[in-house]
Structure 1
């Protein structure tokens, strides 16, 4: 097994060699909880989820940390505008984020640290940077990182360190700093803003230092993988590297993985422009969360994803194919010897699936392998070439691959009693050769999202995968 990942820092595809053999430590930049996350945000989070699932599928132990930024300029402004506390606003949107993540089948990270719960670790890190000459205080008590003290600054984003900083969350003239390129580690108190009394003085943390402190608290001073959206390369991740390595003297991260933008209407999806779609809104409009998940993970993470009106119907159709196969296998009964060619066929599908994901998480290749398998198994079902035991083995195989993808219907899915009664009545109508009643019940079930099929193995049903509209 050789998993290769494209490291943004080196610009190379490098083999994954965990610092601790058999244990991969991963940090993902999570949401700033000032509002609902949009599906562009979730593309980045689900790419990390796919990575975590695949590493575990490969037998590796994984510790996954995803932060929640619950103190930030936008949160402060949002709370003031609503007349609520910062904790109330952040708590509301943290709950919304977790509900959306659960709906999309995202694995719950092992640790979800909040910035406000790590003030001692943050201030310890700032104090170390002050002691080592990499940071300085301004007259108002703020603390800034001195970029001139760190010659390697700019390696991740391949920037000239002499260039002006752009895209920062703090305006250049908001604080009196020595150099416009320097960034805030600790912000002096201001009226109407939260403040903590700490050994380095009163104030609140800057955005960048929060992630360094939280990641190193839970994963150590050096860890294996850091993920995030491509928009975080500069300044956020560049700043993380500088302040972390300046404080510890150790390499911060082995591999940096960055997810490309999701685009809608030809433009990057962003709250600032209003060019967004949100998970809960799409689900409320009738979109299957599994179809949405498929749409967000089906393109290689480093390639831009164009989200159009055709994206969800295509995703729903793909998920339906997997569901239909699993339903057919579940109902399949054939008293014949095992198919001697099946094990080699499944092995070939698995090899192609793993080869794709080993290659920098190339999910497109993995999905191609999966659907080659779906076609092959459907042909074998149609030809009655499988034994009953073969069907069970094929089901377990598809479920094993889906443990990485997370798109198939759960095994324990059961109908509610009212729908089950309709299914049972339809089976009875067919048994009584009451074709008109059988067709009427089939149409009623279809209108309520349940597809019923008649096969040699009897009646079977499955829930439809919807795309809204």
Structure 2
């Protein structure tokens, strides 16, 4: 499946600093990549509704990682999935009177347009779960060979306790896991399961649901096994970073890791687990169930400047849970106008230090608020008439464009 068109990426002089990220599993700041090629898997959308700014905040954050890695000399191997087989999608399609595949295609196209508008660099591989059935069923076979699969009325489940490291990402106790599992698509109370936390691998065919042939009978995959199979197929075990919103820590990333550990026998699944904070609106986390959403497409169609949206998202650290306030977009627009005024000046203070400082801030766990302060300081000095370096405005413009995706 195609992603979206790549925007211009202008290399900067010199090379950026090695990136360090906060790893959820260890709680430590760790080197984000171990070799010349940096590998990243970011869990994608379930395409049953438009992209809201909570989604945008996550994908923009990992876009900064992609840009910062490239600037530090890495080749980047970036994979993102689309969960186009899942209960919320099927339920919404039924409500709308649409075929599930039509709804998925429509919403995926909308997501592509939103990401291109926000100048998010596309993944190298953009893969629908429905296009990965062969890899998913093969992976289930590997788990069966490891005696980690059992049957409940024709549905196949993964035994999470077959992985001794289960729980090592979220560090939650069983009660907390069980509550979150029930809240986030799990079925802890299903009769016949060996453990309430065991997760669905393959759901046998039900009337009116999509199904694919498999060695286990016609059916469709569970949620977690989709990402596990796609990541292993295209990045292999031990890739650098698995990313997403912090609502994926448990159960999704915990389950994916355990499935991979057992299937391959080569932990870890990812070297680091990196998570963006949730975005709230009107005092509650943005969610489709609550309806308190600010849609990227609404802003796009209203001629909002995407650079202002990115600036507003950068104002707080990507790991922080924060609230979208409508006035923050106005403030970001004013900040953007001042930056643009400054880079149109014929000269300004030396910008080599600006480039070095922005690089340093982003290498330190993608500290965008600190990076913005660097550019703000240069802007204020320039607008006050300081500096006589004719090359400085151009270098600041390129720094902001390449590393932050903001067009001045």
Question: TM-score over 0.5 for the alignment?
Answer: yes
1:348 matched to which residue of 2? Answer: 353
Q: Following superposition of structure 1 onto structure 2, how do residues 134-149 of structure 1 map, counting pairs within 5 Å?
A: 134-139=148-153, 141-149=154-162
Comparing 68-77 with 370-379, greater Cα deviation is found at: 370-379
Q: Please give the alpha-carbon distance, in whole angstroms, between the structure 1 residues aligned to 2:306 and 2:19.
A: 29
**What are the equivalent positions in structure 2 for 1:181-200 lying under 5 Å apart?**
181-200=197-216
Partners of 1:66 and 1:364 lie apart in 2 by 26
Tell me the distance in 1 between the aligned counterparts of 2:33 and 2:89: 38
2:128 is aligned to 114
Higher relative contact order (CA 8 A, sep 6+): 2
> SS of the residue aligned with 2:183?
coil
Q: Is the 8 A contact 2:84 2:128 kept in 1?
A: yes
In the alignment, does 2:320 pair up with 1:306?
no
What is the TM-score normalised by the length of structure 2? 0.90
Aligned-partner Cα distance in 1 for 2:227–2:359: 32
1:180 Cα shift? 1.7
Distance 1:180 1:391 in 2: 66
Matched residues in 1 for 2:219 and 2:298: separation? 37
Give the secondary structure class of the aligned counterpart of 2:351.
Answer: helix
Q: How does 1:355-394 map to 2 (within 5 A)?
A: 355-379=360-384, 382=385, 386=388, 390-394=389-393
Deviations 1:128-174 (A, max 9, x none): 101101111223x2110112322321111112247634323143456
Q: What secondary structure is seen at the aligned counterpart in 1 of 2:343?
A: helix
Question: Is the CA contact (8 Å cut-off) linking 1:319 and 1:408 kept in structure 2?
Answer: no
Gaps of 5+ in 1: 333-338, 410-469
Q: Deviations over 1:305-334 (max 9, x none)?
A: 2211321111111111122122334xx7xx
Q: Per-residue CA shift, 1:429-452, capped at 9, x if unaligned?
A: xxxxxxxxxxxxxxxxxxxxxxxx
Using structure 1 for the length normalisation, give the TM-score. Answer: 0.79
Query: Are 1:167 and 1:235, in contact at CA under 8 Å, matched by a contact in 2?
Result: no
What SS does structure 2 have at the residue aligned with 1:59? coil
Shift of 1:407: 1.6
Structure 2: how far apart are the matches of 1:136 and 1:193? Answer: 22
- Quote the offset at 1:280 in angstroms: 1.5
1-structure distance, mates of 2:201, 2:152: 11
2:14 is aligned to none
Compute the displacement of 1:375 (Å).
Answer: 2.3
The aligned residue for residue 400 of structure 1 is: 399
TM alignment of 1:56-205, pairs within 5 A: 56-139=70-153, 141-161=154-174, 164=178, 165-173=181-189, 176-205=192-221
Are residues 1:39 and 2:56 paired?
Answer: no
1:325 and 2:342 equivalent?
yes
Residue from 258, 261, 271 that aligns with 2:278: 261
The answer on whether the counterparts of 1:357 and 1:366 sit within 8 Å (CA) in structure 2 is yes
Distance 1:166 1:84 in 2: 28
**Alpha-carbon distance, 1:175 to partner:** 6.8
Aligned residue pairs: how many?
388
Q: Is the 8 A contact 2:342 2:393 kept in 1?
A: no
Distance in structure 2 (CA, Å) of the matches to 1:85 and 1:287: 32
3-state SS in 2 of match to 1:271: coil
* Alpha-carbon distance in structure 1 between the residues aligned to 2:106 and 2:401: 32
Task: Quote the Cα distance in structure 2 between the aligned partners of 1:358 and 1:291.
Answer: 22
**2-structure distance, mates of 1:160, 1:221:** 26
Asked whether the 8 Å contact 2:158–2:198 carries over to 1, the reply is yes
Q: Is the 8 A contact 1:104 1:289 kept in 2?
A: yes
Conserved 8 A contact 1:48-1:227: yes
Shift of 1:242: 0.6
Q: Which residue of structure 2 aligns with residue 220 of structure 1?
A: 236
- State the alpha-carbon separation in 2 of the partners of residues 158 and 184 from structure 1: 21
The aligned counterpart of 2:7 is none
Contact between 1:9 and 1:155, CA under 8 Å: does it hold in 2? yes
CA distance in 1, matches of 2:326, 2:99: 38
1:64 is displaced (CA, Å) by: 1.0
Contact 2:182–2:188, Cα closer than 8 Å, also in 1: no
- Any conservation in 2 of the 1:352–1:365 contact (CA below 8 Å)? no
The structure with more radius of gyration: 1
| Residue matched to 1:466 | none
Please give the alpha-carbon distance, in whole angstroms, between the structure 1 residues aligned to 2:126 and 2:32: 24
- 1:183 and 1:24 mapped to 2: Cα distance? 30
1:15 aligns with 2:31: yes
Superimposed CA distance per residue, residues 43-68 of structure 1 (whole angstroms, 9 cap, x where no aligned partner): 11111111111111122111111111
Larger mean CA deviation between 305-314 and 24-33 belongs to 305-314
Against the structure 1 CA distance between its residues 175 and 287, is the aligned structure 2 distance closer, same or farther, given a 3 Å change threshold? farther
**1:296 is matched with which residue: 292, 306, 313?**
313
Deviations 1:234-263 (A, max 9, x none): 000010111011111111101111001111
Residue number in structure 2 paired with 1:209: 225
